[in-house]
Structure 1
Amino acid sequence: MPSEFKGMGISFQYPDNWNLDEEENDGHHGSVTIYSPSGAFLSVGVHPRAIKPLDLARGAVDGILEEYAEVDVEEVQQMVLGRKLVGFDMSFFCMDFTSTATVRCLRTQAATYSVFCQAEDRDFERLAAVFDAVTASLLGSIAEHLA
């Protein structure tokens, strides 16, 4: 049975063997991160609606660029549950392994949301369906705010 996070006006299901860490700013904005046993993670951010989704995604890319010397970055759009998310796919070396990170962002009537995923490449391929399912679960929880 999956675990479920509820808070900050969102909810989502995630694997019950993953750990959760919540950083709530004010009850409505903040972030929550789930960690796989292998170290992969997915972080959901709830931000003020005034923040543009692509600007938010670029901020995540800037953070990766500050951390790692060589990063391949590709701007992408992804449809999830009929909604367009904007963001970037990133590939870089971390501790002698090639890693992948993705960031996807969406604005609703209530807030701007970000979903950031990162894992070593082989782990990312194995967990891609989990990342997609968590993202779909999140979007299902905010469906009433989608216009």
Structure 2
Amino acid sequence: MTITYDKLGVRLIYAEGWKITEDELDTEPRTLSFESPQGGIWELMLYRDLRDIDELASEALAILGEEYENLETAPYTTAFGDVQATGHEIYFYHLDLLVHIRIIGARFGEQTALLLWQAEDREFDELEPVFRAMATTLLNPHKFPAPATDD
């Protein structure tokens, strides 16, 4: 079952049972994260203007590089519906687990989103379709209108 998150101009569909953390909703960037029951994380940093997505993704990668050693990285490009996105695919070991992170920058409308998807590598493969669906609904609001309300 899916649930619609719709607050302060952020609307997306996510899976039932996920924990939501609204870190920064009144400052720039707005930061919102969703955690799956398995521990996977889908995080959004939303800027209310157009930013250089390559620069944002590279800055996020540099911060990860300061926190963790021996990152394996590769460029990443994709599309979410009509929206082109670019970023980095990242792998590293932490506590004997292979961690998989994907940092993705995308522009939509007059906004810029920086997404961070993170999970243990095997869980990442299972969660990726959910992560992708969440990003697609966020970045293509014209294709996923707000649900009708019972007035």
Give TM-score, length-normalised by structure 2.
0.86
Question: Aligned with 2:63: secondary structure?
Answer: helix
Correspondence 1:4-83 to 2 at 5 A: 4-26=4-26, 29-83=29-83
CA deviation after TM superposition for structure 1 residue 2, in Å: 1.2
Q: 1:28 to 1:6 in 2, by over 3 A?
A: farther
Q: CA deviation at 1:26?
A: 2.3
Identity %: 23
How many residue pairs end up in the alignment? Answer: 144
Cα 1:31–1:142 shift into 2, 3 Å: farther
CA-based RMSD: 2.0
Indicate conservation of the 8 Å contact 2:25/2:32, yes or no.
no
Q: Which structure has the greater CA radius of gyration?
A: 2
Greater alpha carbon shift after TM alignment, 128-137 vs 3-12 = 3-12
* SS class of match (1:44): strand
Moved more, 87-96 or 1-10: 1-10
**1:111–1:82 CA distance, 2 compared to 1 (3 A):** closer
Aligned residue number for residue 149 of structure 2: none
Q: Quote the residue 1:101 is aligned against.
A: 101
For structure 2, the residue ranges without an aligned partner over 5 or more in a row are: 144-151
Q: What is the alpha-carbon distance in structure 1 between the residues aligned to residue 65 and residue 133 of structure 2?
A: 27
Aligned partner of 2:133 in structure 1 is 133
Q: Which amino acid aligns with 1:108?
A: F
List runs of 5+ in structure 1 lacking aligned partners.
Answer: none
- Runs of 4+ in structure 1 off by over 4 angstroms are none
Task: Name the one with the larger helix percent.
Answer: 1
